[in-house]
Structure 1
Amino acid sequence: MKAVQIVNPSEIKVVELEKPTVGAGEVLVRIKYVGFCGSDLNTFLGRNPMVKLPVIPGHEVGAVIEEIGSEVPGGFEKGMNVTLNPYTNCGKCASCRNGRVNACEHNETLGVQRNGVMCEYAVLPWTKIIPAGNISSRDCALIEPMSVGFHAVARGQVTDNEYVMVIGCGMIGIGAIVRAALRGATVIAVDLDDEKLDLAKRMGASYAVNSKTENVHQRMQEITEGFGADVVIEAVGSPATYVMAVDEVGFTGRVVCIGYAKNEVAFQTKYFVQKELDIRGSRNALPADFRAVINYMNTGNCPVDELITKIVKPEDTLQAMEEWVANPGKVFRILVEL
């Protein structure tokens, strides 16, 4: 079967692999679409310390069930559109013991700590197969990245009488905006790009602030009547946005961190104490987050076409990644059609 492999930094090629066979408790899926995400971009650039090259990328998946192994319970049918839960959990670490399997100490995400599924077929345990109802296989590839944003909103315990500031309107930030708006919160989207901010408003943000051209603190004070945000979700992963999150959250607010900052961040830690902040990490997603995204997408209110920047064939992945590197701010999702 055909597969896409990142061989070395800036080097991608199409390789032939043996088609996997299904075993007991497993499901064979035909992969239709796989999204490139930020971790894949970092792998391509040689900046992902969790990856050992060469690696097959891909964990944002739209697939169709091809074959069902023995000992798989009912509810799965051949031809069903599905997405995949790309994380593993050991069942023994502190996170697993506490029921937060998404943050397993020994997690191995597809395409990161182990080979992904940017290939024609894949076999997974039935527990990692997520039926997606009437969602097309193309649009199923959007579910996992949106679920990460949905999970951040859950971590922030967002309610309907709160101001929620989302810093970064990429795919994961958009997921957070959607979920916070669905919960009834007043959402303030912050980004450097006006096109992304316009999309954020169509996805549920009440306010849009361009941090490149506007005074963010002044705008936040105006919008929140001087109180600051009740919840700030950081979905960029830069020192500047981490500091912004702590500066703009209100007293006794919550800061939820999704992005990984590549460099050390210098904080005025007095705000941690003075504001009595809750600072929370948010990693991956839980099955409930996947279900929430699927429910949302099944309403027909998600402008899926606007979230897909480009669809390419495996042979064109190198060119697509080079274009993404050259203009990263203009890409939401690049999908590979297999």
Structure 2
Amino acid sequence: MKALICDEPGRLRLVERPDPVPAEGEALVRIRRVGICGTDFHIYQGKHPFLQYPRVMGHELSGTVERAPAGSGLAPGQTVYVVPYLSCGRCIGCRKGVTNACQAISVLGVHCDGGMAELLSVPAGNVVPVGDTPLDDAAMIEFLAIGAHGVKRGGIGPDDRVLVVGSGPIGMSAVIFAKARGAHVTVMDLREDRLAFTRDTLGADALLVAEAEAEAKAAAATGGDFFDCVIDCTGNRAAMQRGFGFVAHGGRYVLVSVVRDDITFSDPEFHKRETTLFASRNAQPDDFAEVVRQMQAGRVPTAALRTHRGALSDGPDLFRDWLRPEAGVIKAILEL
């Protein structure tokens, strides 16, 4: 089979590899679409902290079933998406049902080789049929589920004023699912083009440029109350620390972002507001199901989010092109 491998930072090659042989309980999936996310770009650039090269990237995956174990409920030819989080099933996280926080989690394309290949063998439980959902849309379910999970962690409801910080793909997903719950959503970022997209395409109610006066403007816009829930999707330490100041008294702060650095905050302010702080890691099965439901209800503008596409064989050139800010990539898709 053909696979796109990252030998080292900045070097991608299309190679021939043996077809995978499914182990007991595994399904063989023919990969048809691979969504490209910030993690993939970080791997390509050598910025990912938990990765060993060489690596076949790819964790936003859709395809069709080639072979499946008996009793799995899967059948050859079905269109599916792949849940890329391989959990152990034994640790305390798994026993509590939070498999996304498995102590020994292995993520396809990061901790082990992923789906930038013609065939992939994975546990049958990680392969989910999507009926008549198009392959392009199915490859976008994973990144959308991360935003849906963050919204769920924040317990967002129709009476909430929400601030989403960061208008990259994950931030956009948080906007979509906060709006689906009926919340009033403000988006904050430095990029005014991305802010405009969240308003014009995703239905954001208000925009806030992340400038020095942002706190004062947020206070004015909310009558001094600030936001019932703040969701950070920036991946930026300074922004994550700044976000505490936008949380209302009695409010919630959800960190979808993760950085290697320590995050600090003012303890007196934290206690004065009785802030609730949540980490949001990956996604859970019900988050994936929520994405599919909202897609089928027409509330996810997948065509607008999907800005770039190309063939797997062109991957080495495309990665270089898509990394340029002027390329305007929101979500890129590789086809097989």
Matched with 2:4 is 4
Residue 143 of structure 1, CA deviation: 0.4
Query: How far apart are the structure 1 equivalents of 2:191 and 2:328?
Result: 8
Q: Out of 309-318 and 319-328, give the one that drifted further.
A: 319-328
When normalised by structure 2's length, the TM-score is 0.94
Given candidates 236, 256, 259, the residue that maps to 1:258 is 256
Residue 239 of structure 1, CA deviation: 2.0
Matched with 2:275 is 277
Matched with 2:85 is 87
SS of corresponding position for 1:66: strand
When normalised by structure 1's length, the TM-score is 0.94
Matched with 2:193 is 195
Matched with 2:308 is 310
Counterpart of 1:35, as a letter, is G
For structure 1, the 5+ residue unaligned runs are none
Query: How far apart are the structure 2 equivalents of 1:111 and 1:251?
Result: 40
Matched with 1:248 is 246
Residue 24 of structure 1, CA deviation: 4.0
Matched with 2:129 is 131
Q: Out of 238-247 and 89-98, give the one that drifted further.
A: 89-98
Query: How far apart are the structure 1 equivalents of 2:22 and 2:91?
Result: 29
For structure 2, the 5+ residue unaligned runs are none
Query: How far apart are the structure 1 equivalents of 2:184 and 2:217?
Result: 14
CA shift digits 1:111-141 (9 cap, x unpaired):
0111111101112221101112221111111
Matched with 1:17 is 17
| Residues 201-220 of structure 1: pairs in structure 2 closer than 5 A | 201=199, 202-212=201-211, 215-220=213-218
Query: How far apart are the structure 2 equivalents of 1:106 and 1:328?
Result: 38
Q: Out of 293-302 and 249-258, give the one that drifted further.
A: 293-302
| Residues 175-186 of structure 1: pairs in structure 2 closer than 5 A | 175-186=173-184
Query: How far apart are the structure 1 equivalents of 2:80 and 2:138?
Result: 7
The change in CA–CA distance for 1:328 and 1:99 in structure 2 (over 3 A counts) is: farther
- Equivalent pairs counted in the alignment come to 335
Query: How far apart are the structure 2 equivalents of 1:251 and 1:144?
Result: 33
Check if 1:41 corresponds to 2:23. no
Matched with 1:118 is 116
Query: How far apart are the structure 1 equivalents of 2:326 and 2:7?
Result: 21
Residue 301 of structure 1, CA deviation: 3.4
What is the alpha-carbon root mean square deviation over aligned residues?
Answer: 1.7
Counterpart of 1:49, as a letter, is P
CA shift digits 1:154-198 (9 cap, x unpaired):
111111101111011111111111111111111111122222222
Q: Out of 167-176 and 21-30, give the one that drifted further.
A: 21-30
Query: How far apart are the structure 1 equivalents of 2:222 and 2:132?
Result: 39
CA shift digits 1:262-288 (9 cap, x unpaired):
444443332211211111100000000
Residue 199 of structure 1, CA deviation: 2.3
Confirm or deny: 8 A CA contact 1:177 1:187 kept in the other structure. Answer: yes
Overall identity of the aligned pairs, in % = 32
Q: Out of 283-292 and 83-92, give the one that drifted further.
A: 83-92
Query: How far apart are the structure 2 equivalents of 1:24 and 1:237?
Result: 38
Query: How far apart are the structure 2 equivalents of 1:250 and 1:301?
Result: 28
Query: How far apart are the structure 2 equivalents of 1:85 and 1:143?
Result: 9
Confirm or deny: 8 A CA contact 1:23 1:69 kept in the other structure. Answer: no
Confirm or deny: 8 A CA contact 2:186 2:207 kept in the other structure. Answer: yes
Confirm or deny: 8 A CA contact 1:36 1:334 kept in the other structure. Answer: yes
Given candidates 106, 109, 121, the residue that maps to 2:107 is 109
SS of corresponding position for 2:89: coil
Residue 298 of structure 1, CA deviation: 1.3
